[in-house]
Structure 1
Amino acid sequence: MDEGSKIPEIPVTIDDAVVSLASLGAPLVVYFYPKDDTAGCTTEAKDFSALSDAFAAAGVTVIGVSKDTAASHAKFTAKHGLAVRLASDVEGAACEAFGVWVEKAMYGRKYMGIERATFLFDADGTLAKAWRKVHVAGHAEAVLAAAKAL
């Protein structure tokens, strides 16, 4: 997904309801993460949750997306007291549309997985900024600063 693109009409599942990403309104932050309840993903979700009031005050909706199920998201949210909403993309349509379903390598083994990435859409629903290959430390704060600057 390139800057200037519109929020795609891609279905995701939030709290057992199928919704379109575009229906969530704008401005919108969509962040993709590999897996519920893993170290980096937990830190990232907690960081976005800690800033949820600041994002709301700026009028920005934040949604985290992975291929985990809605049930997995519910457990993850309850376990860590997350304030950020999580969307399930079990079929991978959103991952494909955003170009985050990529070949990865660990210990010499290649496999397909979600690249940690974040996309910020402005009030018109146009992609204003994309972060690829995200490093978690300080990322949520950087996204908030960019969102406030819209």
Structure 2
Amino acid sequence: MSKNKLSIGDEAPDFTAPTDDGTFTLTEHRGKNVILYFYPAAMTPGCTTQACDFRDSLSALAAAGYEVVGISKDTPEKLATFRTEEGLTFPLVSDPEKTVQDAYGAWGEKNSYGKIVTGSIRSTFVVDKDGRIALAQYNVKATGHVAKLRRDLGIDSSSR
């Protein structure tokens, strides 16, 4: 497992990283609630399901004051293709060196179909307006995670 698991109240590690269409710097979003979700690979079935669930919930999340940012080890070029193919409208951060994933404890050993492997740990963090971790969830499931996150955040599931 990663050595850097974060907990509620911890300061969120700041980062600047490339996206599919520029760069993203976490501290530039202070004063806003930011959902950072880490996923293994763009254009795979589970990651596509999760990204589309975030896309489909974006207006409800935004109305409740949350921004969404996806982070993976994919190249900006692959992320641009993913965005276009799935109609994604939130930033997709490229972390090929895994520095952001490591800082958040989202890179390490995990159980994949009964085997222990090293890779991206599907994780979600809510960074509050002051730059602190308000929610830290490791080893989340791709399917149904956004609905659960909305329940955890008290966001009405009847609105989109």
Q: Normalising by structure 2, report the TM-score.
A: 0.83
**8 Å Cα contact 1:58-1:148 kept in structure 2:** no
Structure 1: distance between partners of 2:150 and 2:20: 24
Moved over 4 A (4+): 105-110
Specify the SS of the correspondent of 1:4: coil
Structure 2: distance between partners of 1:108 and 1:54: 36
Report how many residues are paired: 149
**1:21 aligned partner:** 26
Structure 2: distance between partners of 1:126 and 1:107: 33
**1:92 aligned partner:** 98
- What does 1:63-102 correspond to in 2, within 5 Å? 63-102=69-108
**1:3 aligned partner:** 8
Structure 2: distance between partners of 1:13 and 1:148: 31
CA RMSD between the two structures: 1.9
Structure 1: distance between partners of 2:98 and 2:16: 10
Report the CA distance between 1:21 and its aligned residue: 2.1
Which shows bigger deviation, 15-24 or 130-139? 15-24
Task: Find out whether 1:40 has 2:25 as its counterpart.
Answer: no
Which shows bigger deviation, 4-13 or 113-122? 4-13
Specify the SS of the correspondent of 1:137: coil
Structure 2: distance between partners of 1:56 and 1:85: 14
1:31-83 alpha-carbon deviations (Å, 9 max, x no partner) = 00000000100000000000011111112110000010111110011111122
Alignment equivalent of 1:104, drawn from 103, 110, 118: 110
Structure 1: distance between partners of 2:26 and 2:79: 17
Which shows bigger deviation, 60-69 or 79-88? 79-88
- What does 1:129-144 correspond to in 2, within 5 Å? 129-144=135-150
Q: Normalising by structure 1, report the TM-score.
A: 0.88
- Residue 126 and residue 71 in structure 1: after superposition, are their counterparts in 2 closer, same or farther (change >3 A)? same
- Residue 16 and residue 142 in structure 1: after superposition, are their counterparts in 2 closer, same or farther (change >3 A)? same
Structure 1 gaps, min length 5: none
Specify the SS of the correspondent of 1:51: helix
- Residue 107 and residue 130 in structure 1: after superposition, are their counterparts in 2 closer, same or farther (change >3 A)? closer
